[in-house]
Amino acid sequence: MEWFKIRRVSTFTRTPYAGNPAWVIVCPEGKVEENRMLRLTQELNPISDTTFVFPGDQSADLYLRFFSKSEEINFSGHGTIAAYFGIAEDNLIKLNEPITLVRQHTKSGVQHLELRVKENRVERVTVSIPIPQFLSMAIDIKSISKILGVSPIDIQGTNYPVATVSSGITDLIIPVKSLEQLMDIQPNFQLMANYCNRLLISGIVVYSMKTFDENNTVHMRHFAPTVGIKEDPVSGASSASLGCYLLKNRIIPQEEMSRILVEQGHSMNMPGIVYVHINIIKNQVLKVSFGGQGVVTFEGSIMCPE
């Protein structure tokens, strides 16, 4: 009978039980069959994704696999952030101050990460992702306003565009006039799922340039009922898409931008912050990454089913 180390991590936050939670299970030796990993995930809290961490090989330092309650997924942003806070005491990688560079292998390929390290502890994890792509797609504002329960003028009156952006997952990005309107949104999730399925997109990002903390850049909410998530507390990849959208449409001046701080989770009482970094030279995006902090809220051992 195998026992694995397990930890629960609140990601994109330093506050326990805020941000986006994920389980991290360390599998130091051998192979664990997919059906056993899915069974473990289903035994755990079904609202949290689970990251399984395996030793790396010649192509990468670690091999990560991600599971939702229903299936294996190719990549999870918050699952990746959680992994490096969840394994910090297991000596699976050598930590060097102030920055440790890591290559991880997942089903979506090899990702490059930077771990900010202080006193042999991980302080922040930053993940490089493919540059988000803007898709040409006709969007019906009346349908969107009906789905979100807002007036079309509350979208169009912002003078900001609606856009469809893909960063591995494809989101429709919608502006609203005020933070109060954003917090009051109660979507019709059945209409939203039908609409997203028809457009072959994963979800909808709704944002306001007004924030709870004046030091932050933008506040967003992320809805993804087509993948079983009515509202995601904090989404790293979708935050990166929103950051690229803000720069492309010059809602944030490129010359003044060093990093974008994306607030999320307040509507669910699970606030978190995503740090989005976009490197631009001569109006060309060369590199996109997102990062965040984390805090372990549980640790122990779990028996792996046969």
Q: Does domain 3-98+122-128+293-303 have CATH number 3.40.50.300?
A: no
**How do the domains of the chain map onto residue ranges?**
3-98+122-128+293-303, 133-291
Percentage of residues in the chain with pLDDT exceeding 70? 97
The domain defined by 133-291 folds into Diaminopimelate Epimerase; Chain A, domain 1 (3.10.310)
Read off the pTM: 0.93
Triad 205, 208, 209: Cα angle to 5°: 130
Higher pLDDT, 43 or 149: 149
Given this chain, do its domains 3-98+122-128+293-303 and 133-291 carry the same CATH topology?
yes
The 10s digit of each residue's pLDDT in 147-199 is: 999 999 999 889 999 999 998 789 999 999 999 999 999 999 999 999 999 99
Q: Residue 48 has what pLDDT?
A: 76
